[in-house]
């Protein structure tokens, strides 16, 4: 756990100073012999998440001042939710709070992951072609295989032009052993479409997410999820790609229940889309990008479909389902 977390949120000097002071106090509290969070493995992450949340809330200008470090120690606040309840009483709309909590926490988890160098190779790029290749592969195979195929393809065809002009047999050869050889033609076609339409896609992005999604989905191997991922990371539009990971994390963390049985495609579910909308309300772009990374990591490493590993999950303190599980396990 690093000592400092850099957040991509615009703050003024006064707020920065407050945060610095708060972090010092929170760290002291975390190291005290009887930390109030001792049931949780991720205590320090949670403390940083709290600080981050304050930043997020202040950045959108809709919150009263957070309690001072002294007040914090006196109150022995135990969860993010308790903070929020206080803030809700102080006038922040209660229905929005859990979303801000989750978003602030996810942003911190995403930010820590980037700092530690976690995640697949495409996490550090905003290049449309590279992200297109990554998502086109990921949607159709495992992470391990997608990573392998991605490295091979990018090493051989570093640009969209290179792949667009490659013979299908060569691309199939590069993909041999990854289980993705059948995708060769579509990938070539997709690369050609990207190359032709990059300029017009940039112009469409100015019109907004709906138009951009529509145009992106005309490219082979681009569905709802990939369109959102490209819009978020390559075109700088705030959105959250919805897959099984997002579905589980959103439903479990915000509602405290499993996603509806039989719901395969989150894009067809009004409730899930509403949760996403609330989560992203007034979100800065970088926060949304970090939240996406965090959801992927949490979904893969902790929030498993059958047996969620709440005891190691970094957002356990902000997750309703984890709270319920803790309550009923006693």
Closer residue to ligand SF4 (CB): 137 or 316: 316
Cα–Cα distance list, 30 to 15, 69, 203, 213, 253 (Å): 22, 13, 49, 44, 24
> Which residues inside 282-311 make contact with ligand SF4, applying CB under 6 A?
298, 302-303, 308-310
Grouping H, G, I as helix, E, B as strand and the rest as coil, residue 70 is helix
Q: Residue 60, class by beta-carbon neighbours within 10 Å (0-12 exposed, 13-18 middle, 19+ buried)?
A: middle
Q: Is residue 316 near ligand SF4 by the rule CB under 6 A? A: yes
Closest CA to 26 of 43, 42, 47: 47
Distance CA 213, CA 4 (A): 36
173 or 258: CB nearest ligand SF4: 258
Residue 50 beta carbon to ligand SF4: minimum distance, rounded to whole angstroms: 16
**Does the protein bind ligand SF4 through residue 39 (CB under 6 A)?**
no
Q: Judged by CB under 6 A, does residue 103 bind ligand SF4? A: no
The string of DSSP codes covering 184-246 is HHHHHHHHHHHHHHHHHHHHHHHH-HHHHHHHHTTSTT--HHHHHHHHHHTS-------SHHH
Q: Is there binding between residue 19 and ligand SF4 (CB under 6 A)?
A: no
- Residue 303 C-beta: closest distance to ligand SF4, Å: 3
> How far is it, in rounded angstroms, from Cα 55 to Cα 16?
9
Contact criterion met (CB below 8 Å) for 236 and 244? no
Beta-carbon neighbour count of residue 125 at 10 Å? 14
- What is the per-residue binding string for ligand SF4 in 231-250, x denoting contact by CB under 6 A? ------------------x-
| Closer CB to ligand SF4, 100 or 136, in the complex | 100
In whole angstroms, give the CA distance from residue 66 to residue 307: 36
According to CB under 6 A, which one of 106, 205, 212, 253 is a site residue for ligand SF4? 253
Q: What x/- string results for residues 193 through 232 when contact with ligand SF4 is judged by CB under 6 A?
A: ----------------------------------------
For the CB of residue 133, give the shortest distance to ligand SF4 in the complex, in Å: 29
Exactly one of 252, 284, 289, 297 binds ligand SF4 (CB under 6 A); which one?
252
Nearer to ligand SF4, 18 or 46 (CB): 46
Closer CB to ligand SF4, 137 or 247, in the complex: 247
The encoded tokens of residue 111 equal 């930010």
Closest to ligand SF4 by CB, 113 vs 190, is: 113
For ligand SF4, give the closer residue by CB, 67 or 110: 110
- 322 forms part of the interface with ligand SF4 (CB under 6 A): yes
Residue 78 in contact with residue 36, Cβ under 8 Å?
Answer: yes
Supply the DSSP string of 122-170, one letter for each residue: GGG---HHHHHHHHHHHTTS-HHHHHHHHHHHHHH--SHHHHHTS-HHH
Residues lying near ligand SF4 in the complex (CB under 6 A) are found at 249, 252-253, 298, 302-303, 308-310, 313, 315-316, 319, 321-322
């Amino acid at each position: 756990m690093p000592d400092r977390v850099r957040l991509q949120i615009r703050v003024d000097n006064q707020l920065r100073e407050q945060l610095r002071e708060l972090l010092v106090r929170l760290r002291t509290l975390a190291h005290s012999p009887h930390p109030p969070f001792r049931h949780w493995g991720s205590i320090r992450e949670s403390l940083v998440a709290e600080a981050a949340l304050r930043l997020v809330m202040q950045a959108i200008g809709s919150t009263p001042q957070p309690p001072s470090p002294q007040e914090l120690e006196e109150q022995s606040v135990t969860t993010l939710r308790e903070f929020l309840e206080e803030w809700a009483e102080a006038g922040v709309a209660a229905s929005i709070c859990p979303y801000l909590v989750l978003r602030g926490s996810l942003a911190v988890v995403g930010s820590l992951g980037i700092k530690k160098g976690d995640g697949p190779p495409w996490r550090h790029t905003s290049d449309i072609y590279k992200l297109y290749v990554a998502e086109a592969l990921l949607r159709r195979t495992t992470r391990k295989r997608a990573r392998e195929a991605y490295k091979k393809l990018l090493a051989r065809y570093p640009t969209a032009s290179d792949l667009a002009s490659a013979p299908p047999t060569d691309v199939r050869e590069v993909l041999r052993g990854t289980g993705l050889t059948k995708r060769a033609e579509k990938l070539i076609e997709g690369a050609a479409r990207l190359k032709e339409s990059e300029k017009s896609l940039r112009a469409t992005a100015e019109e907004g997410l709906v138009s951009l999604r529509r145009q992106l989905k005309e490219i082979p191997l681009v569905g709802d999820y990939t369109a959102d991922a490209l819009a978020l990371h390559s075109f700088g539009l705030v959105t959250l790609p919805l897959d099984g990971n997002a579905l589980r994390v959103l439903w479990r963390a915000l509602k405290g229940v499993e996603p509806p049985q039989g719901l395969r495609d989150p894009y067809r579910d009004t409730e899930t889309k509403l949760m996403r909308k609330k989560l992203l309300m007034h979100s800065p772009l970088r926060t949304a990008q970090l939240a996406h990374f965090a959801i992927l990591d949490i979904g893969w490493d902790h929030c498993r479909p059958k047996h969620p590993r709440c005891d190691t999950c970094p957002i356990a303190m902000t997750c309703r389902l984890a709270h319920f599980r803790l309550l009923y396990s006693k």
